[in-house]
């Protein structure tokens, strides 16, 4: 297919490059979330109360993922619960607020936790 003007060819190439870059970045972010989630949970002391598959003080991350993964806004909700705390959702032991956890790290952890849901 021939385009009547060189600008059209450049525009098409730029559009393709933009889409390719967006897909590549999203794939890399997803991989980084999966591989870095457990490490981040360890760095932020989440593993003192939670484990991936088994209950410790709090529920396992996989159980949290199963409960919330299909709910709209689940990542934002989980990030908010991490920073503000909650009680009565998983038994008598409350989730203490983690105000020193940044919004960005809370959201990264929430996305990683939700990725653990089994289909």
pLDDT along the chain (119 residues), means of 10: 52 45 39 72 95 95 96 97 95 95 97 92
For residue 119, tell me if it sits in a domain: no
Angle, CA of 97, 98 and 99, to the nearest 5°: 100
For residue 63, tell me if it sits in a domain: yes
User: What pLDDT, on the 0 to 100 scale, is given for residue 51?
Assistant: 96
Number of domains in the chain: 1
For residue 87, tell me if it sits in a domain: yes
User: What pLDDT, on the 0 to 100 scale, is given for residue 7?
Assistant: 52
- CATH code: domain of residue 53: 1.10.760.10
User: What pLDDT, on the 0 to 100 scale, is given for residue 39?
Assistant: 95
For residue 62, tell me if it sits in a domain: yes
86: β partners? 95
Q: CA–CA distance from 50 to each of 11, 24, 30, 31, 54 (Å)?
A: 50, 32, 22, 22, 8
């Amino acid at each position: 297919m021939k385009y009547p003007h060189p600008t059209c060819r450049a525009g098409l190439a730029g559009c393709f490059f933009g889409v390719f870059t967006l897909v590549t970045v999203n794939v890399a972010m997803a991989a980084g979330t999966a591989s870095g989630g457990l490490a981040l949970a360890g760095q932020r002391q989440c593993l003192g109360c939670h484990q991936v598959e088994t209950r410790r003080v709090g529920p396992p991350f996989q159980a949290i993922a199963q409960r919330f993964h299909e709910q709209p806004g689940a990542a934002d909700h989980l990030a908010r619960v991490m920073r503000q705390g909650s009680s009565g959702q998983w038994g008598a032991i409350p989730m203490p607020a983690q105000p020193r956890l940044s919004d960005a790290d809370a959201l990264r952890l929430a996305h990683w936790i939700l990725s653990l849901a089994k289909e």
